[in-house]
Amino acid sequence: STVFTDSSVHGGMSVTAYGDAQVSTAQSVFGGASAVFDGSGDYLNVTGDFAWWNAGDYTVEFWLRANSVSGYQPLVTDNSGMNIHLSSDASISVNDAASASSIGGQTAIVVNTWTHIAVVRLGGTITLYLDGVVTATTSQSPGAGGGSLTVGGSGGSFYNGYIDDLRIVKGVAIFQGAFSP
């Protein structure tokens, strides 16, 4: 299937699949299905206003199972340059082109293994968690985010693997220290 549904209580976000992005039952953490991307032109576009990247606390979390860790692979990106991506050294990084802030985890992602990723902003601090462990923090706030959001691809680069249970919570820093995902 290529139908992705906003299952939040607010609903209403339109999700459009591009390329071969689709729902797969081959791998999942919860619910029996996940989004799969083959690294070649696949991504999801979520229509909405994501200016909140710079407007208070938030949590972005998801499960990742990479088929490959080579090259730059965007995971969650807004059209102003704020992005969470898999770096060429197999680590997860969070960048913002507008403010030139960047943080990266020191833990390498293992191919074909589910990893929980969480990016949390609490006050002026952004924290990156991998499997519930703090791997990086920065006190720089992201720049002016906004526009639509893409999952699995951006700017001609694409992710190769699975993403399950992407959750974005505006206004709440759910995790404030180590946790068990």
pLDDT at residue 129 in the model: 95
pLDDT at residue 154 in the model: 87
pLDDT at residue 131 in the model: 96
Cα 33 versus chain centre, distance: 17
Residues of the chain with pLDDT below 50 are none
Structure tokens at 35: 């989004």
- Quick: pLDDT tens for 49-84: 666 566 678 899 999 999 999 899 999 988 766 789
User: What is the Cα–Cα distance from 138 to 101, expressed in whole angstroms?
Assistant: 8
Q: How many CB atoms lie within 10 A of CB 145?
A: 23
